[in-house]
């Protein structure tokens, strides 16, 4: 915008001819990032911004799923890290995971989006889809020696990225039922959180609803479902719990990204969850 205003004006002129009602609504969802612009010019630039963001997201999504290979930037900058990949029983590398202690990742408690780790003179990023509270829990429980993590092979920087403080939770589920696993066989416990589908009129003047609308429209978040069951299996009781995030965050990019945690335990009925025996 500052260095090439003539190019920007040409882009605005073209984009203005293709504006739709949805493009105008983006200004309300994304926020006023261009206070010097008004009307169609503002809508056009906001639409261009969102389209560039989407194209960049798709490009980096595809890259982030690649198997590790020595030509990727992380191994070009630090070739010794390729020897730190997880190994199969036959000694061949698993081209998806790297030793956590090798990259020195130290998640910040209660910041789910903290992805940065410092390695020598570089800043690396763990996988964009991994909530940092998950490795944080396992580090506290088991240490780092036998843990493996997915590090983005294309993100290497000499400068630390800014810390993201974005809040992910709209409402927390009730945790008290799980303090003791007293679920009768063939019954279930759990909870379900969801984001409402607000209209542009709904979010006017309400910053909290605007953030919810952003997570629904742009991030594609829909629901978080938690289901726990207890079943009889002969003389034993089988406890099972699943936590699943339902989203459409990449559906417009031709991808469906899902996150699910499934846990099982035998003979855990009436067990205190903090005992560590489940």
- Split at pLDDT 50, 70, 90, the class of 67 is very high
Per-residue pLDDT tens for 166-217? Answer: 444 434 555 666 666 667 677 777 777 777 777 777 777 777 777 777 777 7
Closest to 42 in 3D by CA, of 21, 18, 26, 56: 26
Do 152 and 85 lie in one domain? The reply is yes
Which domain-ending residue is among 97, 123, 157?
157
Residue indicated by tokens 């008004």: 38
Q: What is the pLDDT of residue 171?
A: 41
Do 57 and 91 lie in one domain? The reply is no
Indicate whether this model's pTM tops 0.95. no
Report the domain count for the chain.
Answer: 3
Please indicate, yes or no, if residue 163 is contained in any of the structural domains.
no
Do 99 and 152 lie in one domain? The reply is yes
Which domain-ending residue is among 44, 64, 84?
64
Do 24 and 43 lie in one domain? The reply is yes
Per-residue pLDDT tens for 25-65? Answer: 887 777 677 777 788 988 898 899 889 888 988 888 888 88
> Hey, is 122 helix, strand or coil?
strand
Q: What is the pLDDT of residue 168?
A: 41
Q: Is the pLDDT of residue 253 over 60?
A: yes
Per the structure, the complete domain to which residue 187 belongs is given by 176-275
In sign, the C-alpha dihedral spanning 97, 101, 106, 110 is: positive
Please indicate, yes or no, if residue 170 is contained in any of the structural domains.
no
Per-residue pLDDT tens for 209-249? Answer: 777 777 777 777 777 788 888 888 888 888 888 888 888 87
Q: Which residues of 15-30 are buried (b: 16+ CB within 10 A; e: fewer)?
A: bbeeeeeebbbbbbbb
Please indicate, yes or no, if residue 164 is contained in any of the structural domains.
no
Please indicate, yes or no, if residue 133 is contained in any of the structural domains.
yes
pLDDT above 90 coverage of the chain, percent: 22
Do 194 and 263 lie in one domain? The reply is yes
User: In degrees rounded to 5, what are phi and psi of residue 44?
Assistant: -65, -45
Please indicate, yes or no, if residue 139 is contained in any of the structural domains.
yes
Q: What is the pLDDT of residue 167?
A: 42
């Amino acid at each position: 915008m500052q260095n090439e205003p003539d190019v920007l004006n040409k882009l605005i002129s073209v984009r203005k001819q293709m504006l739709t009602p949805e493009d105008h609504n983006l200004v309300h969802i994304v926020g006023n990032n261009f206070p010097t612009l008004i009307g169609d010019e503002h809508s056009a630039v906001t639409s261009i911004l969102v389209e560039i963001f989407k194209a960049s997201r798709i490009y980096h999504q595809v890259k982030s799923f690649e198997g590790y290979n020595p030509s990727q930037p992380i191994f070009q900058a630090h070739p010794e890290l390729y020897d730190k990949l997880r190994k199969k029983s036959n000694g061949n590398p698993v081209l998806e995971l790297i030793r956590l202690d090798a990259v020195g990742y130290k998640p910040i408690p209660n910041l789910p989006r903290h992805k940065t780790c410092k390695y020598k003179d570089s800043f690396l990023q763990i996988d964009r889809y991994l909530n940092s509270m998950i490795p944080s829990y396992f580090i506290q429980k088991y240490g780092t020696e036998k843990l493996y993590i997915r590090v983005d092979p294309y993100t290497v920087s000499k400068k630390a990225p800014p810390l993201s403080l974005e809040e992910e939770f709209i409402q927390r589920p009730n945790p008290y039922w799980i303090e003791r696993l007293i679920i009768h066989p063939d019954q279930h416990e759990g909870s379900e959180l969801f984001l409402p589908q607000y209209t542009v009129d709904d979010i006017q003047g309400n910053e909290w609803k605007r953030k919810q609308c952003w997570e629904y429209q742009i991030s594609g978040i829909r629901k978080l479902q938690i289901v726990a069951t207890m079943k009889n299996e002969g003389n034993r009781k089988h406890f099972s719990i699943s936590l699943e995030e339902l989203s459409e965050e990449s559906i417009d990019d031709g991808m469906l990204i899902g996150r699910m945690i499934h846990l099982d335990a035998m003979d855990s009925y009436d067990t205190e969850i903090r005992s560590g025996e489940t």
